[in-house]
């Protein structure tokens, strides 16, 4: 979510700079063409046979075994009992998966199809564990003789029942936001091989983002409004996610043993 906001900011700032400048550096058509057009990829090896459905299923099963083994052992594959708690192990799996899938997504463009499939597949694997994080709740039960009685049944924990569907919706909003940039042609990214004059001034606090360029006359009004709308959508996703996270942390009970390990403030 942060890289969407940062790149939108960079494009809008670049557009504003072009509007304020009285002179513009006009790049040649060859340079623009090399920047806009994607690099030609080497043809894939046609001799390699695609995996059958049975082979894909077997591969998925092996991956599931490995991931769930790490969860059960608290990431301690030696079985020595030095693993972390199940909750922390689950959190680490999702964090590492997100870093792996979204770590290289530095451009406003749709996710690669294989990355998107991997993200959805492995997130579903991990979230399947939460179906068994349950609590007892009372319900009214009618017996065969017509009498009513209160019994206890298991139900998915209330916070998970509310928050997981909400987080899934936010996740879809973010991927849809990236998909919206599929056919845009109002800005482009400078090639890594371009010289310093073409790259222009790059902010040091955002050095990891590729340099983005807009036309010398700036973005069209419609394109600028559309870009701002995408940024607002990403901000909504970020704020909603942070609100859910803050609510969960506020309800979480902190063990006294952990509080005792924190450094004490010395009196002045």
What is the full DSSP assignment across 3-71? Answer: HHHHHHHHHHHHHHHHHH-SS--PPPHHHHHHHHSPPPPPPP-TTSPPPPHHHHHHHHHHHHHHHHHHH
Instruction: Give the DSSP letter string of 201-262.
Output: ---GGGTTSPPEE--TT---HHHHHHHHHHHHHHHHHHHHHHHHHHHHHHHPPPPHHHHHHS
Residue ranges of E strands in 124-187: 134-142, 148-156
List, in sequence order, every residue forming a beta bridge with 154; answer none if it has no partner.
Answer: 136
Residue 260 forms part of a structural domain: no
Instruction: Extract the residue ranges of the chain whose pLDDT is less than 70.
Output: 1-50, 79, 194-204, 267-268
List, in sequence order, every residue forming a beta bridge with 220; answer none if it has no partner.
Answer: none
Residue 77 forms part of a structural domain: yes
Q: How far apart are CA 124 and CA 128, in angstroms?
A: 6
Residue 180 forms part of a structural domain: yes
Residue range 196-253, pLDDT digits in tens: 666 666 666 777 778 888 888 888 999 999 999 999 999 999 999 999 999 998 988 8
Residue 28 forms part of a structural domain: no
**What CATH code is carried by the domain that includes residue 219?**
1.20.58.2010
What single-letter DSSP state applies at residue 87?
H
Strand bridging mode 134-142 / 148-156: antiparallel
Residue showing tokens 């700032």: 13
Q: How far apart are CA 94 and CA 130, in angstroms?
A: 13
- Residue 253: predicted pLDDT: 84
Residue 34 forms part of a structural domain: no
Q: What is the pTM of this model?
A: 0.71
Rg (CA), the chain: 26
Residue 268 forms part of a structural domain: no
Give residues with Cβ within 8 angstroms of 185, minimum separation 6.
36
Residue 265 forms part of a structural domain: no
Range of the domain at 69: 2-16+58-252
Angle at 27 between CA 32 and CA 22, to 5 degrees: 135
Residue 51 forms part of a structural domain: no
Q: How many domains does the chain have?
A: 1
- Residue 196: predicted pLDDT: 64
Residue range 62-81, pLDDT digits in tens: 888 888 888 888 888 776 77
- Residue 260: predicted pLDDT: 84
| CA dihedral of residues 11, 16, 20, 26 (deg, nearest 10) | 20
- Residue 55: predicted pLDDT: 86
Q: How far apart are CA 77 and CA 106, in angstroms?
A: 33
Letter string b/e over residues 201-219, b meaning 16 or more CB atoms within 10 A of that residue's CB: eeeeeeeebebbbbbeebb
């Amino acid at each position: 979510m942060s890289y969407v906001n940062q790149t939108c900011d960079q494009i809008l700032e670049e557009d504003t700079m072009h509007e304020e400048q009285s002179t513009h550096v006009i790049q040649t058509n060859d340079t623009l063409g090399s920047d806009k057009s994607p690099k030609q990829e080497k043809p894939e090896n046609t001799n390699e046979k695609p995996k059958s459905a049975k082979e894909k299923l077997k591969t998925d099963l092996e991956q599931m075994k490995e991931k769930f083994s790490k969860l059960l052992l608290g990431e301690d594959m030696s079985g020595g009992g030095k693993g972390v708690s199940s909750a922390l192990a689950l959190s680490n799996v999702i964090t590492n998966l997100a870093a792996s899938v979204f770590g290289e997504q530095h451009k406003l463009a749709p996710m690669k199809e294989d990355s998107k499939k991997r993200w959805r597949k492995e997130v579903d694997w991990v979230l399947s564990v939460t179906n068994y994080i349950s609590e007892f709740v009372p319900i009214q039960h009618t017996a065969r003789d017509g009498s009513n009685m209160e019994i206890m049944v298991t139900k998915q924990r209330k916070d998970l029942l509310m928050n997981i569907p909400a987080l899934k919706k936010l996740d879809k909003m973010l991927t849809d936001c990236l998909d919206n940039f599929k056919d845009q042609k109002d800005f482009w990214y400078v090639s890594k091989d371009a010289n310093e004059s073409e790259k222009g001034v790059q902010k040091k606090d955002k050095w990891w983002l590729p340099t983005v360029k807009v036309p010398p006359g700036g973005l069209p009004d419609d394109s600028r409004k559309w870009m701002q709308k995408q940024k607002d959508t990403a901000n909504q996703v970020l704020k909603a996610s942070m609100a859910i996270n803050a609510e969960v942390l506020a309800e979480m009970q902190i063990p006294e043993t952990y509080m005792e390990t924190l450094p004490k403030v010395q009196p002045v």
